[in-house]
Amino acid sequence: MLFKQINQFFRSITSAQKRAFLAGLREAVTPLIAVGTWGFVTGIAMVKSGLTEGMAVLMTLLVYAGSAQLTALPLIESGAPLWLIFAAGMVVNVRFIIFGAALQPYFRHLSKPKLGVLSFLISDIGFVIFMSRYGGSKRVGTNQQLWYFLGILVPGWVVWNASSIIGVYMGGLVPQSWSLEFAATLALLAIVVPLVKTQPMVLCLIIAGSVAWVTQNLPLRLGLAVAVIAGVAAGVIGEKYASREKRRIHG
């Protein structure tokens, strides 16, 4: 029954849809190498933080958010309260709300279940690649856009989970002296640096970093919460100041 449905689904894919899917996949190949490396590192990091292999696989499949996982691991390791883990996960994932707000016009015509599945597959690279191709297009909600997006997201999901699970089970073969857990910190760094493009963003980085450094010995890793509040405030104030400067110069 299910097999018949799957078969029917694959036979119903038109050649135009296939072409759009492959076009998306082509754009995604290089970033997918980075995704694979990062997934492997995250897999290792989960086991190193004390998760059993089963729990680590469960986390990979259910959470599917590398930066939230890597953020949560030091918190879990230090036994931070669950609400703080949840709050930290929400904050790190907040970018997905912004992605969702930007992507929603393209996919609002889909049924709710399809939209639910599609949005659970959204990734950073998926968003960046899709928007750099269709961000300025006048027609939104085309079938081509959907299949192009799927061509990035579906392989991304497969590569991430496969590499992560390989990391969970094979990571133990990597000697301790290689300090591979440092690669997890570097992976977070690799997400932050491209995001810091404007002056207010630099200000946010400096303030959040300084506050996090000074408050790192606070109990329950509350320093993180303080750093986020300070960083967001610095960014918003910096933005206001920058736009006032601009007005002064151009006005």
Partner 1 sequence: MVSWNFDWYMLGAIMLLCLCSFLTRCSYMLFGDKFPLSDGVRSALRYAPVAALVGIIIPELIPLSANPALIINSRAIAAVVAVILYLRTSNALYVILGGMVALWVIDLLRNVVF
Determine the interface stretch with partner 1 among 133-141, 149-157, 166-174, 194-202 (rule: CB under 8 A).
194-202
Tokens of 36: 């694979």
DSSP for 80-134, written as a single string: --HHHHHHHHHHHHHHHHHHHHHHHHHHTTS-HHHHHHHHHT--HHHHHHHHHHH
* Contact criterion met (CB below 8 Å) for 70 and 45: yes
* Contact residue for partner 1 among 21, 96, 149, 160 (CB under 8 A): 96
Binding mask 128-157 for partner 1 (x = CB under 8 A): ------------------------------
Residues in contact with partner 1, counted by CB under 8 A, come to a total of: 93
| Nearest distance in Å: CB 4, partner 1 | 29
Q: Would you count residue 200 as binding partner 1 (CB under 8 A)?
A: yes
Which residues between 161 and 180 bind partner 1 (CB under 8 A)? 178-180
Distances from the Cα of 176 to the Cα of 10, 172, 180, 181, 186, angstroms? 46, 9, 7, 9, 17
Closer Cβ to partner 1, 98 or 170, answer by number: 98
Closer Cβ to partner 1, 144 or 210, answer by number: 210
* Contact residue for partner 1 among 6, 22, 94, 170 (CB under 8 A): 94
Q: What is the largest CA-CA distance in the chain?
A: 68
* Contact residue for partner 1 among 90, 241, 245, 246 (CB under 8 A): 90
- The conformation of residue 207, written as its DSSP 8-state character, comes to H
Pick from 28, 17, 66, 33: nearest CA to 152: 28
- The conformation of residue 18, written as its DSSP 8-state character, comes to H
| Nearest distance in Å: CB 11, partner 1 | 28
Binding mask 19-48 for partner 1 (x = CB under 8 A): ------------x-xx--xx--x-------
Q: Would you count residue 65 as binding partner 1 (CB under 8 A)?
A: yes
Determine the interface stretch with partner 1 among 8-16, 136-144, 147-155, 209-217 (rule: CB under 8 A).
209-217
Q: Would you count residue 251 as binding partner 1 (CB under 8 A)?
A: no
Instruction: Tell me how far apart the alpha carbons of residues 101 and 143 are, in angstroms, rounded to a whole number.
Output: 19
Tokens of 106: 């393209």
- The conformation of residue 173, written as its DSSP 8-state character, comes to G
Q: Would you count residue 241 as binding partner 1 (CB under 8 A)?
A: no
